[in-house]
Structure formats: C-alpha cells, structure tokens
Structure 1
Amino acid sequence: MGYRARLAVAAGMTAAFVSIGIVVHDGRVLGLAIPYLVYFTWIVLSHPGKAEVEIRRKIHPARVPVGEEIEVVLTAENHGPDITSFGLEEVLPDGVTAADGETSALAPLPTGGRIEVSYTIRPSRGEYEFPPVVVKRWGRFSSAPQVERIEIPSSLLVFPRPEPLEEIVIRPRRTLVYSGTVKANVGGAGIDFFGCRHYVPGDDVRRINWRAYARSGRLVVNEYEQERIADVNVILDARARAHHCSPTADTFEAAVHAAASLATHFLAQGNRVGLLIYGDILDWTYPGFGRTQRERILDSLAAAALGDKAVFEDLRYIPTRLFPSRSQLVVVSPLAGEEDVETLGLLRTRGYQVILVTPDPLDRWREANTGKTDAASLQLAARIIRL
C-alpha cells in the first residue's frame, strides 16, 4: 500500500472513531481512535518527503569494438532537503556484467551532497539499452524505503572489431569510372600490360612500341589495363538453420566478424560497399564510400542476430534487384545444403562475380579445446566430424 493510501486509511479510521465517540458520548470509543492517530503521526513523520535529486549516467565511450572496456558513472546530486539514507542501484542490461567496481551505493545524502557509482563493463557484440535506475529513500523514522525507478535513456553499441586482411583479388564484370585497385579489363592508363593498338594523334609518344613499329612499319602504342573502383556487396547469412551455434562452435559470430573485416577491407581500397543481412528481416545498408559508410556497416553488424523465418529459409530469395548488375558479391555463409550451392551458381549465371567465405566450426572447436586434448586426438575428431 502506498503512502497516500496508508495516510487516507489512518485518517479515515481516526475520524470515524472520534465522530462515533462524540455522538454516543462514550470515551471507550474515543480511545479506539488513539492507535490510528499514532499510526497517522508515524506515517507523516517517517515519510522522506518530496525528493529533488538529479540523477545522471555517463557512458564512456558509448560506441566501442568488441573487447574494449567501458566506464559507466552514475551520479545522484541532492538539490532538496536532507535525506537520512539514500540508495542508488544500477540495473545492467541482459547479458552485461560488471568487470570492476560497484553498481550500487547506500549513504546519507545531505542538501548539496552527491553519491557516485562507478564501474566498468566489457560486453559482447550487441546493441544495449539500460533499464531504469532503482532509487531507495528512507525517512528519519521509517523502517521501509520508498522505491522509485527513474528512466535515464542510455544506449550502448558494441560492434565487431575488423581484422586486417591480405590482398583479395576481385574481377567483377562491371566497374565504376573512378580510379581504384580493381582490374577493369579495359585498356588505358595502368600498370599491367593489356595490349596494343594503332597510334592515334594525341597519344603519349612514350607509349609507342618501337619494336612493333620496326617489324610492321606502323606506329603502335602499348595499352595497360585500367584499375578502377567497383561495387562490392557483402551478404551475411543470418539464418539459424545455416549456423552451428554452441558454446564451442559459434559460426555466426565468426561470420559477423568476417563480414566486418571484408567490408572494411574493400572500403579501404576505395570501392563502393553495401551490406545485406539475410535473416529475420532483410537489413540492407545502402552502398557507399569511406569512413562514414564503414561506421554504418559496423553499426548494422553490431545488431545482427540469427533468424528463423520460413520466408527467408533459402538463399534463393536473396533480392538481387538491390545489387548493381555484373557487380561483385561476397557471401559469408556456412551454407545449409546443396540448394544454397545452386543459388550461388545461379547468381553467377546472372552476371555477378561471387566470393564465398565459409566459417569453419571445427576451427572454433579446436581453438576452444587446445590444451585440453592432444593434437592427434583433435585431428582424428575433426576427420570424423567432416565425414
């Protein structure tokens, strides 16, 4: 029962017995009002009163890669009357635990005073919203606290950490007009020899092939293969049926980190990169360039989760209309069966160049069991599982 309800009950019972006692002129009835009057007085004196406490939460930093520590500071500052005892308790989001420090505090809070709770967390990949803060206040004569839950909107984003990759050669059938690192299969200015053609007035004389001229008597110039940027779209398979998820073999997390590394790699080469997460929904990050696009893709991957909707059960439902024709597709998937392999073949027949990146659950299993089992047993187990 709340403060107002208890106060109303005590006042009502006191008034009722006093009124009846006066009407019947009986002191014994008036005496029955005394306990309720005492209870009413205790309620008034024990109530902590109206709070004027400002509560702030600071998360630094609020956007981090996996593995980084995050410092959270929760502060309560009293702008009102003294509070005999004040409790401040942080409720962490699901899946987040404190690595160091305390998440609660209990102390007197005088006028102008402040209480601070500081702790560090190291959460896994994901998007987190902090629940309301639990505040408890005790009055001078109260035995039970007044509990409030105060909403302080705070969010935290933990994205996969991209890893540096060695050079990945892509040869899409279509490139963009800007200079880059992708072989365009078109003659012009470049580094690698592409072919020869007849001299045209205005050509650079340094490109004339004098040996060919000596043999044919005609001026011939060398052409080099142009290097341009390309459209690259990374497709992350987020279907639950395609992934083996267990404490020792989580292929989905490996796939998410691979997608982050691949997208970062192709963006660093100057390409236009997009991301499609194929799972519960079609989470599409429109293609773009540079650092801003990298942040968009990493933010999308931070919130990526497995899905099991029947409409997206097969890879053949990938909406190819989102991708420019004859562009480069990079599919990150363990593949769920032969029908997925057929889908990749169909994408190639439509003019796309396809790179398949497959996370290996055995590699994850071996990493988790290294040191627990001898190498020969690990190799034998891997062979049996592959069979």
Structure 2
Amino acid sequence: MTDRTVERLESGEWALAATLSLAGLGIAVGSQLLVVAATLPLWYAAGAVLGSEGTAMVRVQRQFVVSDDPGGHEDADAGTGTHADSGAVSAEPGTTVTVRTTVQNAGSETIVDLRVIDGVPDALPVVSGSPRACNTLEPLEETTLEYDVELRRGEYAFADPTIRTRDLTGTVAQTWQASAAGDDTVRCTPVVDAVSLGDGTNDYAGEVPTDEGGSGLEFYAVREYEPGDPVGSIDWRRYAATRDLATVEYRAERATRIVCVVDARSSQYRAATTTHRPAIERSADAAKRTFETLVAAGHPTGVVGVYDDQVATVPPGTDAETRRSVARILNAVQDSPQHGHWSTFRTRTNDFVTDLPRRLPGEAQVYLFSSFVDDDPVELVEALRARDYAVRVVSPDVTAAGDDVATRLEALDRGTRLARARRAGARVVDWDRDQSLGVLLRNAVGEVGTR
C-alpha cells in the first residue's frame, strides 16, 4: 500500500464572498430571509474547518475468471483459468477474462464517498463493464468491480487499485493505492495442441504413409525378387510352397515438409473493432502453434512472412536454429509493423504472388494464414494450386462485427475470395473470433493423407 495523500478542499473564500453578497442583497431589499440565508455558507465553511481526517481502512481481493477457453479445454476450476503459480492465470491470446475486484470497508466508520479505479494494464482492452466504481460503504460492507478484458500475447501485471475517499462534508479527500490480494498476473503463452497433417511429403523417413513400397510397418505388396533385396524381406513361405523367390514390401512412411505462410502486409493490421486483436496477431499465433507442433512431431517445417515489398523466409527444418529463426520472424510480425526487424531473413519482392511459389521446396504442403481482405491471398492460392501444392488456409475474420454497409459489402467480397480458394482446391477455415483456436487448428487440416 502506498502512502496516503490527504487533501483539504478550501472553501473559506467563496463562503465569505457568498455570505457578504447575500447579506448585502438582503439589507438592500429589506429581506430578512436573505439575511438569514447569508449564514449558510458560513456553516459550510465551518464544516470544512472541522472536517474529519480519519483514516479509512479497506480490504481488496481480485479474481480472474476465464470466460471462454480458446484451447478447447475445460478447466477443473470451473472456468477460473490455469494458475501457473499463486496470483497468476495463464490463458491464450484472444481469451476474454472477467476481472472481479472486491473492496470491503474494513474500518468501524462509514465511508461516505468511496471511489475505486482498478489497475488494468494499458495494453489490455476492457471490452465490457468498468474498472471504476463509486459507492458508500457501511462497516464490513463491500462492493465489487466486474469487467472483461481481452488478452493479448505476452505477460501482464495488474497494478494495485487506486482508492479515493471523502468525508461527510466533502472537504477532506484521501488518495492511496491499496494492496490487492489474489490474482495479479495474466500470461498469454498458448500450449501447443496436436495438429493433424494433410498430404504432401518428401523423401525423409517419417510418420506419414505413402502409396509406395519401402521400409515401414504396414504391408504394401508382394513383388518378384530382385538381386540385392534384403534377405529379411523375402517371402519364405511362398518359397517353401512354390520355390519362387518373392519380396514383401511394406508401406513406406515419409516426413511431411511444410511451409507456414503468414500474411504480414499492412492490410493485416486491421481488427474487427478497436477492442479486438488485429488479424496479423491471430494469424501469427496460429502459425506459431502449427509450427511448434509439426516440428515436435519430426516434420521439417519452415515459415515465410510476406510483407508489402519484402519476404522473410526460414527453410523447413527441425533443428534448434530453425526454431530460433522462426520465433524471431513471428515475434517481429506480431510486435511491430516495421519490417526492419526481419534483418537477414528478408529479400525484396515486387510480386510475392509470382515469386513465392518459386521459392517453396517441391512437394511441400502450404499453410496460409491471411484475413483475405484483398485479392492477393486468393491469387497466391491459385498460383500454388497450379503448381500442385497442397494448400490449407486459416483466415481470421475481421468483418464479422461490422454493422455498416461498407463492412457488410467487404464481408461479401471476402466470402467470395474464400469460395474461390475452395474452388481452387484449398482446404479453407473461416476463423470467427469466437472459435476456439485449438479446435480450429484441428479442423484446419485433414487426417494424414497419402502421397
């Protein structure tokens, strides 16, 4: 708790002026009522002089309640979030968290005028309710501030609420910050969920079954023996019955090589409303989770960040350096629209729709994260499909909350672009902000496909 600031609101000058004015007017017009009324400001001034400076005592408790769970999990604490440690709650970006701050009068005197402002971090928008309150509290009576904030990526600490009280005369004010017990920190560090894979593989051994024979566990076919075939693959039962040599083949398994393309152009720094996260933050979050899951499963994965006139590329891989490079790109994309943070990863491009398909490795699977508010993303999908790339689209919707005619027309245009992407052969997920991110990522891609 910080030191209290006591402020006495001076009122003597105006009270004296009011008294003299009323008394003079009463004498001039011969009104006894005005003369008597002239004494009232003096009583107010006397009350200000005698105003109490008694110390108000309050007790503050704060609680965070996770209203929805983007990860698709249900909390054992009936929706109170994941507590990594005392006073901290972990949730995913975009989650709506309800903050309940209770202030109790812990003294023996009534607090006539109590005003409270909770210490909400500037970076967290309040989407409903208010972190302010004004009340009168009897001894042991309490009041609760309840409001909702939408989480952004990162860690945020709530400050102690600011308390301001006035005495009965309204002339003595005390201001201080009262220590709040309970929750005080929220973290937006999403846990990676399992992500299914689509088709598109390379020649590295892995977990995706293919339509070709090779080393593996699942039976594929029996063919004629060829010199050099491993002895262990010979069908000895057939040889014992027919004296013909044959080789048993098993379904080969390959690793999937994947590239996550994140649309980071200036058009992506738009949100549905000023209180919602922009499309680029949602796209980068989904790309980061997809990348981490695929790499953990052993699939070489890379990232391409597309800016207005530049492209930042990290080739597919699974090593620690690939992870660090991808983290730097995605963090820079989320933290600032300035592409200077991409450093050595960036290269100039005049037309990423034409250039990008040439940069991608052959037989790669592409995950495109874009809000599709212009034609460039759908043209990129069509260019990729023309080169036979498997494409998965995750598109944050930034038009859903608009009621004006312009936004509704833009929503229709966006729907037409997504329909074009589907006709081109891409698997498309239209990501409404209320959809769970974990569930969405599982639906964004199909079951493990074949080569």
Q: Distance in 1 between matches of 2:149 and 2:195?
A: 26
Greater RCO structure (CA 8 Å; 6+ sep)? 2
Q: Distance in 1 between matches of 2:184 and 2:255?
A: 39
Counterpart of 1:89 in structure 2 is 117
Cα deviation, residue 59, structure 1: 0.7
Cα deviation, residue 186, structure 1: 7.8
Cα deviation, residue 135, structure 1: 0.6
SS at match of 2:247: strand
| Aligned amino acid, residue 307 of structure 1 | P
Change (3 A) 1:139 1:53: same
**Mean CA deviation greater in 187-196 or 128-137:** 187-196
Is the counterpart of residue 123 in structure 1 residue 116 in structure 2?
A: no
CA deviation string 1:149-193 (max 9, x = no partner): 3465723345789999875123144346xxx33659882233473
SS at match of 1:156: strand
Change (3 A) 1:68 1:96: same
TM-score between the two structures when normalised by the length of structure 1:
0.54
Paired-residue identity, %: 12
Is the counterpart of residue 361 in structure 1 residue 361 in structure 2?
A: no
Q: Distance in 2 between matches of 1:231 and 1:132?
A: 49
Counterpart of 2:247 in structure 1 is 221
Is the counterpart of residue 107 in structure 1 residue 112 in structure 2?
A: no
Q: Distance in 2 between matches of 1:343 and 1:47?
A: 71
Is the counterpart of residue 308 in structure 1 residue 338 in structure 2?
A: yes
Cα deviation, residue 263, structure 1: 4.5
Tell me the matched-pair count: 306
Change (3 A) 1:380 1:4: closer
Q: Distance in 1 between matches of 2:176 and 2:118?
A: 12
CA deviation string 1:258-283 (max 9, x = no partner): 4267448748x944688879699x9x
| Aligned amino acid, residue 373 of structure 2 | P
Match of 1:348 among 361, 368, 371: 361
Tell me if structure 2 keeps the 8 A contact 1:187–1:195. no
Q: Distance in 1 between matches of 2:415 and 2:263?
A: 27
Tell me if structure 1 keeps the 8 A contact 2:59–2:103. yes
Counterpart of 2:184 in structure 1 is 154
Is the counterpart of residue 138 in structure 1 residue 166 in structure 2?
A: yes
TM-score between the two structures when normalised by the length of structure 2:
0.47
Q: Distance in 1 between matches of 2:349 and 2:133?
A: 47
Change (3 A) 1:77 1:106: same
SS at match of 2:346: helix
Tell me if structure 2 keeps the 8 A contact 1:88–1:134. yes
Counterpart of 2:52 in structure 1 is 46
CA RMSD of aligned residues (A): 5.8
Counterpart of 1:171 in structure 2 is 201
Cα deviation, residue 74, structure 1: 1.0
Q: Distance in 1 between matches of 2:302 and 2:159?
A: 31
Q: Distance in 1 between matches of 2:373 and 2:110?
A: 57
SS at match of 1:90: strand
Tell me if structure 2 keeps the 8 A contact 1:347–1:354. no
Q: Distance in 2 between matches of 1:234 and 1:381?
A: 22
Q: Distance in 2 between matches of 1:43 and 1:109?
A: 25
Tell me if structure 1 keeps the 8 A contact 2:64–2:97. yes
Change (3 A) 1:83 1:355: same
Change (3 A) 1:83 1:369: closer
CA deviation string 1:8-57 (max 9, x = no partner): xxxxxxxxxxxxxxxxxxxxxxxxxxxxxxx99977862233x5533221
